[in-house]
A and B are shown apart, each in its own frame.
Chain A
Amino acid sequence: MQFSIIISLLLHTGFIILTVMGLPIFNNQKIDIPPIVQVEILEITEQTNVPEVSKREIEEKEDSEKKKEDVKINQPVLKPKLEKSDEKVKDPAADEEIIKPEIVEKKSVVNMPIRKPVIKKKDNFDPLKIAELIDMAKDTKPIQDVKDEEYESLDSTDTLVNKLTLSEEDAIRSQFLRCWSIPIGMPEDDSLVVKVKISLRPDGSLMKPPEVTDHQRMNKPSQKYFKVLAESALRAVRRCDPIKTPAVERYDDWKELQLNFDPRDILR
């Protein structure tokens, strides 16, 4: 009797153990995944960002190597301080947005005199003579006359907007097509067109840094794609520098150009 109870107990225990061990939870191996180790991130752009320098300025600086060395040495000085500060920047983009507008604002001031060549142009004319023309007719026609007279000596074509022939425009366009690396990752967006104004020297090199006409949009936090696109356009202009230009005799026609970088068809 006792013997059979012991046997029964043992068998029951064995059965219970087998059942429990058979549950899926016991079948799983211990998971051995390396834990995600946290990384502390600090934003240092603000302290070390080097202001943008135009190409010409760099050329001037190249003459004095010593000065350049000083700049280099002065670069990373501020970094150790940062670590000690509690400024853990969780969203670097946010800080960046706050700081950059200042830089661009400065840039825009530097780039302001777009109409400079216009002022030069006025020296070619006798103001009094033109004043007489304006005085003679009171409607808008004289402006047309003035324009015609002004450009007659430069170009025989009648149109004022297209002073370059189609093939000349194509020649310029094809150079920028090759230089522009399109940021292909962008979503479709019909407002993504970047207009860049460039001023050229007679040899086709950039007279001053290229300027995005809507540069304020670059700094809006919601306009990340525009910023990336604008930067790619500016790189294209620099990469193409100097461009092959139409005849130097017609310098006045092409010394200022507006390039409209429009990726809409490509992203579609």
Chain B
Amino acid sequence: MKNLIQNILFFTLLSITNAVALIEIDITEGNREPLPIAITNFFYDDVDAVMLSEISNNLSDVVEADLERCGLFAPINEEAFIQKNAAMHLRPRFEDWRLIKSQALVTGKLKIVDGDKLRVEFRLWDTLAEKELEALVLITTLDNWRRISHMISDKVYERLTGEKGYFDTRILYVSESGPKNQRIKKLAIMDQDGENHRHLTSGKELVLTPRFNPTKQEITYLSYFKNLPRVYLLNIETGNQEVVGDFPGMTFAPRFSPDGNKIIMSLAKDGNSDIYVMDLKSRVVTRLTNNPAIDTSPSYSPDGKKITFNSDRGGSQQIYVMDNDGRNQKRISNEGGNYATPVWSPRGDLIAFTKNFKGNYAIGVMRTNGEGERLLTENWYQEAPSWSPNGRVLIFYRETAANEDGQGHSSTLWSIDLTGFNERKIETPQDGSDPAWSNLLQ
């Protein structure tokens, strides 16, 4: 009996010893290259071939383009695929996909249901762990395949990064044409990949700073009527448009609150500009700042409790943060230079801004207390960052200088992600400025 107890004691001790002795290796660095992913053409039955062959090709092309553009994925060229798409609605041969270095795989199947509806079955696989990560069926009209593609991209992005995607979204901007002193500015809207481009205004009046309502298909923007800037509301589903309030002075930089029920803006009266908020239901206007300096560009935090804005009350343009009732106004930018257009990230952790220093303009981010400032991109002139709905990417516009003859001036839309490495030009039919990113479409 004594021996038995001793034996048990010994083995317990031995196992503890062994557990302690397990060698730990810290992996604190890794491969920062985009994740190799294979996106196959979606399978369809021969009976549906006439209607679905083109959609199948287009759908995978759109998903591939979305994922490539975000900079986190490296889609593998279709020609490298070993397993052909004929069998892709079944469990993939993972070895074949590992051979071409693919770590994730998107497969799917298309089908016509109820005569004219498109049924898209999509699966995301982990080729190394050999398991299914996501499987969804999406049913919609045949001509809505593009939206389905963006939704699939969003699902892939979300499953592999932990963050919501931003592909099923739209971008609103000011489309510009004509010589610099006679610019025609129209409000324009397009999908985030530049497709479905439309103009919303005719260009007779100057338009500025369009912004989406975060909760519905409504936008607010600034337009000049009889040389007086006014804040407008436009419902993009019905086309209804209205002027927001009739103010004694000029209104600028309107932006919705996160719940979409208020508009915050700056109102200039007698050479002084302050921040005001208007409740859209009651139309009651409340003054939030009261300072002889110029306070402008207000933007709400995603919880609606704080507001960041821009003010020159300290002698130079800087970024300030205050409570939503105007209390506790505090300067947060402290790194030197002038700061403008602060925008609170939808994730809540950062504030994006434009910074003017040493003759250049930079788009950057800082924490909401002003610490950890990072400049993502610098150029001759660029401004007006707007966040993607997941708070990972910023869209802004960049201008090039005109030469002595007044030629060569351009204004283009760009996006950059938080790493600062993935900078992309966003193609628009004409010049563009003042972009704004919508939330994910409902």
Contact = CB atoms under 8 A, between A and B. Distances in A.
Nearest to A53: B130
Given A33-B189, A33-B236, A49-B135, A258 B129 contact: no
Contacts of B347: 187
Interface string B251-265: 000000000000000
A28 B90 contact: no
B99 interface: no
Contacts of A30: 239
Interface stretch (B199-207, B306-314, B329-337): B199-207
A16 interface: no
Given A79-B121, A131-B7, A115 B18 contact: yes
Given A31-B198, A72-B91, A131-B10, A181 B27 contact: no
B47 interface: no
Interface string A125-137: 0011011001100
B401 interface: no
A242 B14 CA distance: 29
B402 interface: no
A40 B140 contact: yes
B126 A177 contact: no
A217 to B, nearest CB: 13
Interface string A20-31: 000011011111
Contacts of A172: 25
Contact of B31 (A169, A177, A231): A177
A71 B94 CA distance: 14
Most buried by A among B19, B26, B141, B205: B26
Interface string A169-187: 1001100111111111111
Contacts of B134: 45, 92
Contact of A38 (B26, B109, B140): B140
B139 interface: yes
Contact of B91 (A40, A50, A147, A182): A50
A121 to B, nearest CB: 7
Interface size range on B against A: 35 or more
Interface SS of chain B: mixed
A130 B205 CA distance: 94
Contacts of A146: 10, 13-14, 17
B223 A24 contact: yes
A125 to B, nearest CB: 8
Given A50-B131, A228-B161, A42 B137 contact: yes
B103 A75 contact: no
Contact of B138 (A41, A72, A264): A41
Contacts of A43: 135-136
A118 B15 contact: yes
B91 A75 contact: yes
Interface in A1-51: 24-25, 27-45, 48-50
A134 B303 CA distance: 63
Interface stretch (B144-152, B376-384, B406-414): B144-152
A122 B132 contact: no
Contacts of A177: 27, 29-31
B241 interface: yes
Nearest to B197: A33
Most buried by A among B121, B137, B140, B189: B137
A228 B162 contact: yes
B13 A37 contact: no
A213 B415 CA distance: 39
B151 A262 contact: no
A42 B198 contact: no
A183 B126 CA distance: 14
Given A53-B130, A259-B27, A239 B20 contact: no
B281 interface: no
B196 interface: yes
B86 interface: no
Nearest to B367: A188
B187 to A, nearest CB: 9
Interface in B6-64: 6-7, 9-11, 13-15, 17-33, 35-36
A184 B419 CA distance: 8
Given A37-B141, A44-B137, A52-B130, A118 B18 contact: yes
A181 B103 contact: yes
B325 interface: no
B82 interface: no
Contacts of A121: 14, 18
Interface of B: 3, 6-7, 9-11, 13-15, 17-33, 35-36, 72, 89-91, 103, 109, 113, 119, 121, 123, 126, 128-141, 143-144, 147-148, 151, 155, 159-163, 189, 196, 198-202, 204-205, 217, 223, 225, 236-237, 239, 241, 347, 349, 392, 419, 441-442
Given A231-B126, A258-B24, 7 more contacts: A28-B200, A33-B196, A41-B151, A75-B91, A146-B13, A169-B25, A235-B128
Nearest 3 pairs between A and B by C-beta? A180-B30, A228-B162, A238-B128
13 contacts: A27-B205, A37-B143, A48-B135, A52-B129, A71-B91, A73-B90, A76-B109, A121-B18, A228-B159, A228-B161, A231-B126, A238-B128, A266-B30
